[in-house]
Chains A and B, each alone.
Chain A
Amino acid sequence: MKAKEMKKESNLARLVKSPVRFLIMARDAYIRSMTSCSAGFIRGGGGSGAFGLPPGNFQICEAPTTVLPRSFTLNSATTTRERCRFVTRGASSGEITVETTAMKRQMDLRRNYSCMVMGRIDEEKVCDQFEEEDYSKKRKIGGVFTTHQQ
């Protein structure tokens, strides 16, 4: 009699708790999927394929249209900029390598955030020479000639 009552109570408790357990599993799955969007670089230490994933923080921004410097007049040391400064001290060499590569890749992407730049027009001079070579290369006319006979 006691054994039956205990078994019955256990089943009942399990039934009552199952919705809560399902909700917890759903929450964990959601957070895991969101984390995988942005943490591909940092947590994917073992696999080299993880580096191919696009960084999460650029999914909304448009892809850069062209590889051009962000500014032509600002001179900053690229070697200093490219050095990754988020590497934690005391970490293992494997982790350092992973984070360095990841950060460098992300920085490269952000540095290319720029737009197409047209030829400079001096404010006080007439400008009538604008990269004739590029000019002639870019222009295309006509394509396929089609003659319609009636």
Chain B
Amino acid sequence: MFKQILGKLPKKTSAKFWDNGESQTLDNNNNQGGGDEVLSQRTSSNGDTSLDCVSSFDVLPRLRDVSISEKQELFLKKLRLCCLVFDFVAEPQQNFKEKEIKRQTLLEVVDYVISSGNGKFPESVIQEATKMISANLFSNPHRQWKNKTPEALDLEEEEGSLNPSWPHLQIVYEFLLRIVASPNTDPKISKKYIDHTFVLKLLDLFDSEDPREREYLKTILHRIYGRFMVHRPFIRKTMNNILYDFIFETGKHSGIAEFLEVLGSIINGFALPLKEEHKLFLTRVLIPLHKLKCLPNYHQQLSYCVIQFVEKDCKLADTVIRGMLKYWPVTNSAKEIMFLNELEEILEATQLTEFERCMVPLSRQIAQCLSSSHFQVAERALYLWNNDHVTNLVRQNSRIILPIVFPALEKNGSSHWNQAVKNLTENVLKVLSDTNPDLFEECLHKFQEDQQKAEDTKKKNGETWRQLEEIVASMAK
């Protein structure tokens, strides 16, 4: 695919060179004018570009046209040329020609990284590459766009704002990804330039509102974490800090879902037995992430991370379930349904011992969900009985669980407003009755007795109120 795109390059590039030659031969004033434009652009931008780059902006030959010995030097020159950052926000209509030249130069350097043979990249290449990447990704025009975003943006909006610098940024991200993932990149050399400062700035970019940018950042972070073992503790610590800030301070961040996707692959690879640091991450970061209002934006990734933990160490099921019960939503039905979905997946990975430790508060919560007026919540809670593993756990502890959930089921079966919930409830009651008829009858009798007691208490209270009224009436006389 990339080769096909590059196949279009030679034609246009040669045409451009021909145009440049023609303009140079015809009119010297035009050439000087172009130089002035580039100079003024350089003044407005904050790039650390030298004057040599500007003067040689139009005349660099293609990498394919030079010999192998000259290739690397030309590659370095092209990298320096790409350090010049164009402002797509404040000046979107200026420097069209220069922008296109830079874009094609970026494509050339990406292709060079992809197509280079077995030789390792020397340190000078990594140094210039990192400098170019930093100039483009961590530059001020990038932040200007971010600051201009309106504050009232809806957090749950899936579509974010698109970065106007994307025509150049995409290729820079692709270049960074190729450099990090290339077998010709030596980690021992690269870690001096892709250092903690670089990684920290890269992680700050995750708050971008452009989903295309976050997608690239996610993949790049995944590769850096995988490849540079020396950076792993720092990356985990920095991600923790960003997540703490999100959970306890701002509640606003665009890239939480992407962070959790990377973390999902990291958690997947955790060694057994789990380190204490990782368990703390679960209890202090992943579980509190359930309480935020914008949970729908990242719940799939979050539940995947949590379930990975429970599958690696089944003893954590009790901790996770109690944490979820602590943050269980009360009025947000959409969140409640997500919680029930995640709960079923956690229960599938839960063993009997861990289930018994938390089943009493869990059953009370399930009973509340069964009694919910929101039919989707009640319906989803009823479907827990459709899961074989959950049903097995419940059956082995039915003597404790059934008395808790039975009143809710019986009320649903007789008086819930939604017909589907009624039907499902009757089915669940039949299953429970077939499984343990004696206990079922016992619960039914107790339920009826409790109802009778409630009615008697109600009557007694009515009588007491009536007596009080008579006394008051007689005293008035």
- Chain A contact residues, CB within 8 Å of chain B: 31, 34-35, 38-39, 42-43, 56-57, 59-62, 64-65, 70-74, 76-77, 80-81, 84-86, 88-89, 103, 106-107, 110, 113-124, 126-128, 130, 135-137, 139-142, 145-150
Contacts and interface: CB of A to CB of B under 8 A. Distances in A.
Most B-side CB within 10 Å, residue of A64, A70, A110, A142: A142
A9 B418 CA distance: 39
B270 interface: yes
Contacts, number: 178
A73 B270 CA distance: 13
A36 to B, nearest CB: 10
Contacts of B223: 128, 130
Contacts of B88: none
Contact of A150 (B96, B262, B383, B427): B96
Interface in B350-387: 375-376, 379-380, 383, 386-387
Given A81-B387, A86-B431, 9 more contacts: A57-B383, A60-B334, A74-B348, A115-B261, A117-B265, A117-B268, A119-B265, A122-B271, A130-B181
B74 interface: no
Contacts of B375: 34, 38, 56
Interface residue tally of chain B, by bracket?
A: 35 or more
Q: Is the interface of A mostly helix, strand, loop or mixed?
A: loop
A88 B1 contact: no
B62 to A, nearest CB: 15
A38 B304 contact: no
B16 interface: yes
B283 interface: no
B326 interface: no
Given A38-B420, A113-B300, A145-B8, A120 B265 contact: yes
Contact of B227 (A106, A122, A127): A127
B139 interface: no
27 contacts: A42-B420, A43-B419, A57-B337, A59-B376, A60-B334, A60-B376, A62-B300, A71-B345, A74-B311, A76-B348, A89-B430, A115-B303, A116-B261, A117-B261, A117-B265, A118-B264, A121-B226, A121-B266, A127-B269, A128-B181, A128-B183, A137-B1, A139-B174, A145-B9, A148-B99, A149-B19, A150-B96
